[in-house]
Structure 1
């Protein structure tokens, strides 16, 4: 017989013994999380906290305290019904409590670190809310008087503030011991948010969202597509820096957190970002319910702008205004904003402006309570198990000082770039608070590449080229093999690493790519290697021409930041995009005119063409971008002789290899690409051909 289920629409849980589960409506934030779970069932929308308990305590006593907290908070003991309209079925805590006991060796002082590693290695995984309640408990025993309780929580029923509520109530239950379950519990009500949602959508449509550039971040050796979240070590913000920041924020009339957000904006400005979005996690509670467990955390995107002449004092005021959006938009689920922009206005920001970087600084509770005979060491600062952003800067105040950690995905940063960002935050907080009225551009740390550099296989300028010309001529030379044509030159901006060219290089032929800027002149030569097909490094810079990377205004950018390749003190920005790594090597990224910005993404035709050209069976490839309200991307491939020309085959191959975050392209199969007399692809003629 089916279990009886009753639905309540009021603010109480009238569960009577034996009456069965009670259905309650999901809040807007919970509905958004549930939809995300349905769309991405393998995702992990949760986090964890832990506490080291020192002293004589039994597992049964800890279990009883966990049970008592769940009894007091219905949303910690609910399962979501998988129907046409999702509801949460509130059940008795004893029916759904997930409590396990395990032994785990850990040296004194290392228990919490060991518990972190254990949870991430063995318990982080997809969370089926139809069969598992939103909270789990694992009691790890390290010795007779050392236990760590690890609490895993799904975000559908927990937020940052609730961690401290849980801690207080867990300690209270541990101190008082078992008690009969309560029968009535207040449930939060969820007023309509339609007007607020319309306000959010109007704001972003009027904010120039379509032209928002992609975020520029430091890197040392490139990134990969791994989406796993990685943490940096904790970094400390000295007390003297924080004291100056407190005084500045007091003078400006903003919060300490606003000052930390302003510092994060200054760091991003130093990497060449002038206009960008920061995501601010915020609780959705109201005063009468903020002490309840089970209220959701939301993310509010805030638009920030800074020019080189902006001062830190200006940035404090700007950050204060931006954070005003948090109070206006805090109840509107983040995913609803993305949905409405896409559904009603055709603007897709799901992998662009809004999910790149977040800044979080919740208050840390100090007075959590005591239990006679026991000591507790809480870890609320555990690394995220959820990819809510590519980067999230987690900051905490601690007495007169503060500390932080950066959680990042390798798709956005490598380890060196992540360490660089946290070091820059610490350095700039000190410098900005010392000189709050100085323009931001005066805080830059420019790095200029030394002139010259050894050629890997001798002086390329003394090697007489056997073939020199456009990419078609290089491809023709490659077809004859290195025995006939041992060296081939072509302009770097035309180069494509097709399988035929890669085979030519592996067989011993040399591919030399000439880097000649139309304004700055010759910058050097790239001796291309097939083993690094996507890395075009300037292996032989022109002698006497120190290279640097600049922003569009000609200001030098730090190493590891992508920009325009310039020369020495010449103020003119160049036409090539590049970045310089920690060893001073220059990596070419294509030309400036190949880049498009679309709702916070950097769309680089050179990157896409390189990926397509490397596909088996490709003779040459090109990408055309254009927009008419929504960005259009078209990919053209020319198959080699004997390769299947079926457009359906190529459509699948292209879309599998397509760079992440780009709009999907239309795919066209051509006999040849139209070219100008110089050998460059005729973009106008190609675009016209693809319209037919």
Structure 2
């Protein structure tokens, strides 16, 4: 019924917002005998009442391409998203001559509130942030905290492909190979991250980034035009998958691979895959913009040197600056926020695994494809508009409802990837900025879906306003019980890709969906908002969950979307499936149920107590809260902490513990006499050693990464 129109109005053209969707506020009201729905009646416009409001509102109208806004109109409800928020922050900062953090846009999304915030900043006489210093001659930089953790994983498991970040692009139209490769070379010259290698630090332990002046760039070309037409697509996908499944060595630049496949004279496929150490999901958006601009300019005979403005900072500049920022007042303010937010949140329960897992078992990523047709996508977008939400919020609320159904508990924690570009100047910079924040919710059965989504909006807005803190710093604000359980149960990633460049000069551009097998979290939903509707993957750890479990979860999520589109005020209890639905789906495959692992409450043995004291000092927790079955990473440890503890524990225990054992083993296992170290990621540390609660191999070390961004 929700798809049946009540009125039809003919217009010469539909008014559009800057992101390409219909500007519904600009549509004329239908001439109908019946009264309009109360939610559709726009509030009376409130004009600016002072100069600050006038200037802020003018900038908002310019960024959104929406005239006659009210000072109480919400930036995000009118089509704003994170990219437009970054543009807004830059333009407001330029207008008022100050550095406006991106988080302030989320804290004050109306002209009225933003003007008041600017008045407060101006009255304080202080700048909220210092610009990142630019060194044009930079040849070296430290690793960021996230890079250090990832490099540690590389050292433990050389040859892993978990950190490959591939994208495959279908280009339709006449392609000039020489000009295409020239455009790509210019992107590499512009972006330091594409000329970076990870090498040992000079006169110090650890690693550093080495930024080379030039790199050897080869664009392999494979002509599939000699094959029968019916075989070309499958062969292209096979060859592309082979590249995706090949590790990238990190000690020599460039840390990316690329290839160009010719299917016929009018169709080519371009593969680009960078190592996550120098790349994240939003870096792809920068790549699309730059390749589209440069290739179009070259085809038109323009000077490539002037086609794009120079970047004002580099990823190396950011890495060098991050350490100083973490010691400053803004980072302290964000720590205070998360300490208070987590103190008010319960300890989460995790979705029970379908199969027993032993310590040292690697996570195997599999996926369930998800496609939401354009009609349902637009119905959900309409629900968002009428209830002062964004589509992202509606989808995450549905995902949270499905999680609560599966777990059988109302407390829900969703890991939300954030771009991590801490100042607007980084919006045009490629690199590994992505972070993650938890959105913490209570999916109580008596709540209506719209009320639940409104609570999600409030928590999400607060999280986004405090998104700059690296996840390990955020984790340190949690209680020991929260660290042990984890701060989220599953990842949710949403990207509005409708504004991505659809043409690279004369070439029509579209994505080719290929799945990357690397896994950093046990459950995740990765959605793209495309012109044809929502599309993505529900990704799961096949070492923990069966295909039937994943399919049941996916179907419950889709059912919730349809129900919400039909009646947004439905109570969550009416949207619930029995908590045992996933277990029943798994049992249908006749898989044996895992025996529950009892929590160890015994007193620590002397050698365990000595090691626990080192852990407590490194993790800043009470030693009495550490149990024999605890894992260092589950308690909030990271790779740097682990290496320091390894060094000190040799003196305390009288023997060296191999670093990789910290990923797999408990305190009791590590404190015991030296054990045989697994020779491969898939071997077991002990024949009967059950894995801790968070059993995904990389997810245990890197919980807090939205890797695919």
Q: Residue in 2 aligned with 1:154?
A: 275
Q: Do the aligned partners of 2:393 and 2:457 also contact (CA within 8 Å) in 1?
A: yes
Say whether 1:167 aligns with 2:266. no
Q: 1:45 to 1:76 in 2, by over 3 A?
A: same
1:486 match: none
Counterpart of 2:350 (choices 196, 207, 214) is 214
Matched residues in 2 for 1:586 and 1:10: separation?
54
Cα 1:663/1:333, change in 2 over 3 Å: closer
- 2:419 equivalent among 270, 278, 283: 283
Aligned to 1:658: 689
Q: How does 1:90-489 map to 2 (within 5 A)?
A: 90-93=211-214, 95-104=215-224, 115-177=236-298, 185-188=311-314, 189=318, 190=321, 192-193=325-326, 194-195=331-332, 198-199=335-336, 202-203=339-340, 206-207=343-344, 211-216=347-352, 225=361, 227-233=363-369, 235-271=370-406, 272-285=408-421, 286-294=423-431, 296-338=433-475, 340=476, 349=483, 353-354=486-487, 356-366=489-499, 368=501, 370=503, 373-379=506-512, 381-399=513-531, 401-445=533-577
Change (3 A) 1:651 1:128: closer
1:23 aligns with 2:110: no
Relative distance call for 1:109 and 1:32 in structure 2 (3 A) is: farther
Give the alignment partner of residue 187 of structure 2, picking from 55, 61, 69. Answer: 69
Q: Would you tell me which structure has more helix in proportion to its own residues?
A: 2
Question: Deviation string for 1:490-546 (max 9, x for gaps)?
Answer: xxxxxxxxxxxxxxxxxxxxxxxxxxxxxxxxxxxxxxxxxxxxxxxxxxxxxxxxx
Deviation (angstroms), 1:428: 1.0
- Comparing 654-663 with 404-413, greater Cα deviation is found at 654-663
Residues 392, 407 of structure 1: 8 Å contact kept? yes
3-state DSSP class of the match of 1:560?
Answer: helix
- Call closer, same or farther: CA 1:196–1:654 in 2, change over 3 Å: same
Secondary structure of 2:435's aligned partner: strand
The 2-side partners of 1:307 and 1:97 are apart by: 55
1:517 paired residue number = none
Matches of 1:181 and 1:369 in 2, distance apart?
Answer: 23
Matches of 2:176 and 2:134 in 1, distance apart?
Answer: 34
Residue 156 and residue 98 in structure 1: after superposition, are their counterparts in 2 closer, same or farther (change >3 A)?
Answer: farther
SS of 2:544's equivalent?
coil
User: Aligned in 2, Cα 1:125/1:323: closer, same or farther, shift over 3 Å?
Assistant: farther
- Alpha-carbon contact 1:80-1:129 (below 8 Å) kept: yes
Higher relative contact order (CA 8 A, sep 6+): 2
Displacement of 1:85 in angstroms is 5.7
Change (3 A) 1:586 1:294: closer
RMSD: 4.0
SS in 2 for 1:383: coil
The structure in which a higher percent of residues are strand is 1
8 Å CA contact 2:312, 2:425 repeated in 1: no
Deviates more, 1:171-180 or 1:649-658: 649-658
Larger Cα-atom Rg: 1
Which residue matches 2:136?
14
Greater CA deviation, 25-34 or 73-82?
25-34
Return the offset for 1:195: 1.2
Q: Tell me the secondary structure at the aligned position of residue 156 of structure 1.
A: helix
1:630 deviates by 2.7
Report the count of equivalent residues: 472
For residue 124 of structure 1, report the CA deviation from its aligned partner.
2.8
Aligned to 2:119: none
Question: Are 1:630 and 2:661 matched, yes or no?
Answer: no
Alignment CA distance shift 1:168-1:199 (3 Å) = same
